[in-house]
A and B are shown apart, each in its own frame.
Chain A
Amino acid sequence: EPEVTQTPSHQVTQMGQEVILRCVPISNHLYFYWYRQILGQKVEFLVSFYNNEISEKSEIFDDQFSVERPDGSNFTLKIRSTKLEDSAMYFCASSEGASLGGDEQFFGPGTRLTVL
């Protein structure tokens, strides 16, 4: 069964450093997403991406964040200058895009980011 994969599973970084989180969405999916979950809190939407551009982003997704689809399979989230409060589990997801709100989203296993 096709699945979304993410690497690394755990990333530890120093405050102020840049990190890149990587995702491989399901191959025939058209929409890609990043969500985050701070420990003990709810899953929060960060950004959605379609046709090589951002289709929607949340207030959390400020200038320190960026997304990219560098090739036909990878989808990345870059955090430019990490802060302590960026420590969270980051989930990538993808969906077919046939009916937007009617599409199920497939989530990856997550990358746990720890900022020291």
Chain B
Amino acid sequence: SQKIEQNSEALNIQEGKTATLTCNYTNYSPAYLQWYRQDPGRGPVFLLLIRENEKEKRKERLKVTFDTTLKQSLFHITASQPADSATYLCAPLMEYGNKLVFGAGTILRVKS
């Protein structure tokens, strides 16, 4: 069955450092991979989308990579700030699918 795995433990980093979050998937070949941020008690908020033919995508301090051979996406936040503390969710999607199947998420804590 299709499986999505994200760092199971919380990631604690110091302000100013780069946070790197991992999303691994098995048993399917997504055409897209979306990343969302979720704050406690709130709905997910879209951050970035990367297509299978894109190796890397950037938006301000965020960078996403997509390695279809490794079946992995990495999500980087550079110059991290305490306001970046949240749970980050990845969701691989098929070409004609729009059902978001999220991983369990990685909790990021940025300390000042």
Contacts and interface: CB of A to CB of B under 8 A. Distances in A.
Chain A interface bracket (under 10, 10 to 19, 20 to 34, 35 or more)? 20 to 34
A61 to B, nearest CB: 11
Interface in A23-66: 31, 33, 35, 41-45, 48, 56, 58
A101 B95 contact: yes
B98 A95 contact: yes
Interface string B28-45: 001110100010011111
B46 A101 contact: no
A93 B96 contact: no
A56 B96 CA distance: 12
Interface string A55-99: 010100000000000000000000000000000010101010100
A106 B32 contact: no
A31 B43 contact: no
Given A42-B103, A45-B100, A101-B98, A110 B41 contact: yes
Contacts of B108: none
A18 interface: no
Contact of A56 (B49, B51, B95, B99): B99
Contacts of A102: 31-32, 49, 51
A61 B26 CA distance: 24
Contacts, number: 69
A43 B38 contact: yes
B98 A35 contact: no
B46 A106 contact: yes
A104 B34 contact: yes
B102 A48 contact: no
Interface centre among B38, B45, B100 (most CB of A within 10 A): B100
A101 to B, nearest CB: 4
Interface of A: 4, 31, 33, 35, 41-45, 48, 56, 58, 89, 91, 93, 95, 97, 100-110
